[in-house]
Amino acid sequence: MSATLHAALGPVDAAPADVAIVVDCIRATTTLSHALAAGYGEVVCVGEVDDAHAERRDGVVLGGERHGVRIEGFDLGNSPAEYAEPRGDVLVLTTTNGTRAILQSAAESGTVLVGALVNAQALVDRALAALPADGTLVVRCAGVRGAIALDDVYVAGLLLARASERLGDAFATDAARVATAVARAYPDPLAALADSQSARDLDGTGLEPDVARCAALDTLVVAPIVTASAPGRVVVTA
């Protein structure tokens, strides 16, 4: 028996897994990783803006975006630069693609990790420690507005290539092979991310430096994990 490696390239692909890693590289899962690395005790991911407002209390910070910009009444947006220091114990996060993908994986998978390039190796290490010998590891790409996102597929390929190297005899699905081929095709992470729609969406917003922040490979050691899950609400901790 050997493990299976798979990538859910598009946001609509069902992909139950023993271990799932959810990736929305530009920017939600990069931002979430920064928040936990900086010292927030937990990140509560919710699907809707109203759900976030309902979590408001002392010590709770509301963060996230719709159409790429900070939501009215929220404390913070979706830039990793805003999460260098904690402003409370709990961050409540809702974004267009990323937090919804986390909710989806939490509903269909066993262990659910969350991250991107900034904590790639930490994610691989924790994922493989949790993976049964004949288990399935899926990287779920959050995508962008319902479509496949190049940045997420690139990260999936990088993570799965590292996992494959460590496992030796794992079986890779065609979707996993597509992702690892994409990772091979780009000379470096920034080149891949810069080529994506998510990067172009930041053009002219003043948030262009976020692309390089999201491309900063292996700069955080945190591997965020879903520790509690209910419909529409999951808790992620370090």
Structure tokens at 54: 């309902």
Q: Considering the rule CB under 8 A, would residue 174 count as an interface residue with a copy of itself?
A: yes
**Contact 137/161 with Cβ under 8 angstroms?**
no
Q: How many CA atoms lie within 13 A of 50 on its CB side?
A: 0
Q: Considering the rule CB under 8 A, would residue 23 count as an interface residue with a copy of itself?
A: no
SS3 69: strand
Q: How many residues bind a copy of itself (CB under 8 A)?
A: 23
| Interface pick for a copy of itself out of 130, 148, 216, 217 (rule CB under 8 A) | 148
Nearer to a copy of itself, 35 or 144 (CB): 144
Give dist(CA 47, CA 27) in Å, integer.
16
Choose the stretch contacting a copy of itself; rule: CB under 8 A; options: 36-44, 162-170, 177-185, 206-214: 177-185
Q: Considering the rule CB under 8 A, would residue 12 count as an interface residue with a copy of itself?
A: yes
| Interface pick for a copy of itself out of 17, 167, 182, 238 (rule CB under 8 A) | 182
Nearest residue to 109 (alpha-carbon basis) of 79, 133, 131, 77: 131
| Interface pick for a copy of itself out of 181, 212, 221, 230 (rule CB under 8 A) | 181
DSSP state of 71: P
Choose the stretch contacting a copy of itself; rule: CB under 8 A; options: 56-64, 130-138, 182-190, 214-222: 182-190
**Contact 185/150 with Cβ under 8 angstroms?**
no
Give dist(CA 65, CA 70) in Å, integer.
5
Residues interacting with a copy of itself, by CB under 8 A? 9-10, 12-13, 144, 147-150, 153, 173-175, 177-178, 181-182, 184-186, 195-197
